[in-house]
Amino acid sequence: SQQGEEDPQALSIQEGENATMNCSYKTSINNLQWYRQNSGRGLVHLILIRSNEREKHSGRLRVTLDTSKKSSSLLITASRAADTASYFCATELGGTSYGKLTFGQGTILTVHP
């Protein structure tokens, strides 16, 4: 079974609206990251939140982490057409998995101008 699962699988919004994506995981983690992938390209790191943090901000991005529910959310405020991409959460597991990431299925975000 997958470590990270994301919902929704796809999200379609208008420019200026907020977009929220959720990620759930199964085992304890050291940290959780969010990455963005434009169509057919490599991934770009957006933000990292450690297991002892609850919320983090970076520009228009806000990430929350609830370790009791094993879930995280990524909020993009005032979305733009250029935010259209796939968004993946990635977890670094606790224990001996140092440096190895497990990725979720991703959320495809489409922002209409």
Residues that bind another protein (CB under 8 A): 2, 4, 30-31, 33, 35, 40-45, 48, 86, 88, 92, 99-106, 108
Cβ proximity to another protein: between 19 and 93 the closer is: 93
At 25 the three-state DSSP class reads strand
Least separation in angstroms between residue 41's CB and another protein is 6
- The per-type count for the chain, helices as H runs and strands as E runs, is 0, 11
Cβ proximity to another protein: between 100 and 112 the closer is: 100
Cβ proximity to another protein: between 40 and 113 the closer is: 40
User: What letters, b where the CB count within 10 A reaches 16 and e where it falls short, cover 52-91?
Assistant: eeeeeeeeeebbbbeeeebbbbbebeebeeebbbbbbbbb
Least separation in angstroms between residue 99's CB and another protein is 6
